Chain A
Amino acid sequence: MNPILCGIETEYGLWIEGRGPGEQIEDATEVVRSYPNPCYVGWDYRFESPRADMRGFSVEHLAVDPEDLKYDACKQLPPAHILRADRVLPDGSRFYNDHGHPEIATRECFSVDEAAQCDLDGEQVVLAAVQAYAARTGLNVKAYKNNTDFHGASYGTHESYLVPRSLEFAELFHAVTPMLVARQILTGAGKVGREHGSPCDFQLSQRADFFSEAANVETLFRRPVFNTRDEPHAEPEAWRRLHVISGDANRMQSCTRRKMFLIRLAIQLALIGEAPKWRLADPVRAFESVSKDAKFDFRVELDGNWTTAYEIIESYLSAAERFDLVSSEERPLLDKSRHLLSLLKSDYDTFSRHVDWAAKRNLVEMYREEEGLSWGDASLQAVDLAYADIDPAESLYQALVDSDQVEAASFSPPQFLSRGVVRAAAVSNWSSYLRQVSWRALTFEIDGQLKPVELRPDIAYPATLWEARNVNEFISLLEGVLSP
């Protein structure tokens, strides 16, 4: 079992005909509340600390996009509990509104396969909520799994990796940052044009335009390549959570899986002190230049030297093999990553079956040629958006799947059950006894007494938990696992 628990959070773009950013927080709240299927309401916010920085301090407040402040300038915003909708899903994931965006945070998983599958299942949850909202209001509504509105606003797809606190910030930063910059060539979602920085027709990353610092705790404005938020959702003395904000929202399940696999590999190497020692001259500039390199050279400036994104990724793959870090589950992911590095140089058509940015680029190019458009035409960004549309009846990504031009999703059931699966069992079977749910704990009420149960993040839980005949047996089984 790979002990690095992981999960993924995706904020969805929300478009409602006749509505705008000024009403988007209220609209996102209502969309989440429209979710028509069984779920649990009662999120426990006690353990949340987004202002804590893993370098050992907390900021007074997080920076806010000044453009967003304009939308609220003349408004009296209702209290937070009115503008907040939170649902715990029967698979242990969380569905809520993060300000103006419906968001799915998957349950924690020991396997990147499982995390990618939960992320994919999240699309159906958001779609069900959007369709229910549209049916109730009569409005035309669309949800996009992407990270930009092409007008300068970005929203995130974040990954979480639980790592021992003994791994210091500096080691983690130096091990992970080169991979954050390089992996976009195998995992980027692709974007038409740019919103900041140097001009381009098409780039690999949805997010590259929005980073201004190498490392900080911000997520809404002045975003960093490496986010230093220190909010472990577990015992803070023992754990820290690496919160990655520089990845894209992928439509291809295989890209979601690959982007998480590559970061876990970097963390595993950091844990044994064997991460490749790349020192990037400027991670922000490198991220942007790789994203916008139409020649596919993907050069990266180091302190006093140059390398390429190809070489950076290969160095991690080779090191993982050298130090025997590749499990049987991860072997195909490593082989595929290496194969794609080769295909990107030699066989772009085959490469584009497996990577979002290349599939999208082909699609946009086809449209551009058919319509006789220049790269500057705004309708190409509409094609980009349609790729991200999660409605299968409208989505261009789905049309590519249906015409067998990209690989289809696949799934194998998890071998090791995380605390996320325990949450799933509690919500599915014993929700009438639940009073609060968070990432790290469940609180039941039994015979008028509150019964909190803290869930350890680092153990595999038995499937027999699903077979408990009553809530007392469920809690008893759980306590037996937690205190053997």
Chain B
Amino acid sequence: MIQSDRLTRPGQPEPARKTGEDGGPNAPKLERPVAPNPLKDRLKKVDPDQAKKYRQRSGQ
């Protein structure tokens, strides 16, 4: 079977692409997952007023 249409029809011009700094393609823009940082997470849980509330008797 001959598919003449396919062979003869001129193709659509490609849309102009933005290029990266090195002329190559850009990476797709995706939301990067934030790496878990247990230390920062723990810091955010600190009650900033805890030291104000903390009163002790003297010890030895």
0 or 1 for each of A6-35: is its CB under 8 Å from B? (1 = yes): 000001011100001100110000000000
The answer to whether A153 touches B46, judged by C-beta atoms less than 8 angstroms apart, is: no
A463 to B37, alpha carbons, bound, how many Å? 46
Residue of B40, B50, B52, B60 touching A220 (CB-CB under 8 A)? B60
Main secondary structure of the interface of B (DSSP, over half): loop
Closest A residue by C-beta to B40: A370
B46 to A399, Cβ gap below 8 A? no
Instruction: Name 18 interchain pairs, CB-CB below 8 A, sorted by A.
Output: A13-B54, A20-B55, A21-B55, A98-B60, A99-B57, A101-B57, A101-B59, A144-B54, A153-B56, A156-B60, A158-B60, A370-B43, A378-B48, A382-B48, A382-B49, A399-B43, A403-B37, A403-B39
* Residues of A within 8 A of B (CB-CB), count: 48
- Of B51, B54, B55, B58, which is within 8 A of A65 by CB? B58
Does A129 make an interface contact (CB < 8 A)? Answer: no
B46 engages A100 (CB within 8 Å): no
Docked Cα-Cα span, A137 to B29, in Å, equals 53
A interface residues, Cβ below 8 angstroms from B:
11, 13-15, 20-21, 24-25, 65, 67-68, 71, 98-101, 144, 149-151, 153-156, 158, 219-221, 245, 363, 366-367, 370, 378-379, 381-386, 394, 396, 399-400, 402-403, 405
B residues contacting the other copy or chain, number (CB 8 A): 22
B53 lies within 8 A of chain A by Cβ: yes
A405 touches B39 (CB 8 A): yes
B59 partner, pick from A11, A370, A379, A394, beta carbons under 8 A: A11
Chain A residues, Cβ within 8 Å of B60:
11, 98, 155-156, 158, 219-220, 245
Contact B55 A386 (CB under 8 A): no
CB contact between B53 and one of A11, A14, A15, A153 (< 8 Å): that residue: A15
- Selected contact of B51 from candidates A68, A155, A363, A384, CB within 8 Å: A384
Chain B residues with Cβ under 8 A from A363's Cβ?
A: 39, 43
CB distance from B57 to the nearest CB of A (A): 4
